[in-house]
């Protein structure tokens, strides 16, 4: 084999190895966001064991001994399945979608801020604090479930959240 052929073979081999490594890394990164659908998860903040079953369509069914654990598990499962969507809608409702999508959505942000969606949400929370505080415990349990998922799975957050 002449020198040119050997160098060509070496270059092709190195390129194939690089492509293989890149494909493996891409696959590993893209599979990270899939939720755990079997086994056990221990989440600090639960008062009693909670069972979460997924049907053939992947829809979670939550069985809990009390209301706190039900909403905690609901928040945990929502974050597990839809964290990217929750974060996306949070940005939209605060008039901050341009932080993700760029300047093309700036008019939407201005409109949403003008409409005061975030202010309305804050007023709603204030209303519940003053008039119906029992509902806040449900919202807090749900939020605690979301935050528990984030705290336990920071390295599993999907690729679109790491960008």
Domain layout of the chain by residue ranges: 1-31, 36-162
HEC assignment per residue over 6-70:
HHHHHHHHHHHHHHHHHHHHHHHHHHCCCCCCCCCCCCCCCCCCEEEEECCCCCEEEEECCHHHH
Note the pTM of the prediction, 2 decimals.
0.70
Q: Which of 157, 150, 142 is nearest to 84 (CA)?
A: 157
Q: Is 102 helix (H, G, I), strand (E, B) or coil?
A: coil
Q: Comparing 12 with 31, which gets the higher pLDDT?
A: 12
Who contacts 121 (Cβ-Cβ below 8 Å, separation ≥6)?
Answer: 93
Proportion of the chain above pLDDT 90, given as a percent? 43
Task: State mean pLDDT over 42-46.
Answer: 84
What is the spatial distance between Cα 34 and Cα 58, in angstroms, rounded to a whole number?
A: 12
Which numeric CATH code is attached to 36-162? 1.10.439.10
- 77: which 2 tokens? 């499962």
Q: Which of 34, 68, 38 is nearest to 54 (CA)?
A: 38
Task: State mean pLDDT over 51-78.
Answer: 93
């Amino acid at each position: 084999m002449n020198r040119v052929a050997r160098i060509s073979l070496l270059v092709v081999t190195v390129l194939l190895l690089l492509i293989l490594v890149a494909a493996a890394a891409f696959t590993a990164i893209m599979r990270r966001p899939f939720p755990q659908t079997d086994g056990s998860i221990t989440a600090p903040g639960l008062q009693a064991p909670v069972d979460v079953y997924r049907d053939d369509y992947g829809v979670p069914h939550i069985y809990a001994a009390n209301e706190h654990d039900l909403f905690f598990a609901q928040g945990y499962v929502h974050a597990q399945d839809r964290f990217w969507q929750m974060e996306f809608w949070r940005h939209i409702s605060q008039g901050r979608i341009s932080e993700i999508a760029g300047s093309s959505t700036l008019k939407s942000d201005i409109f949403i801020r003008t409409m005061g969606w975030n202010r309305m949400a804050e007023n709603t929370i204030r209303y519940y604090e003053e008039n119906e505080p029992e509902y806040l415990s449900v919202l807090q349990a749900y939020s605690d479930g979301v935050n528990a998922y984030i705290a336990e799975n920071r390295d599993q957050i999907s690729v679109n959240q790491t960008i």
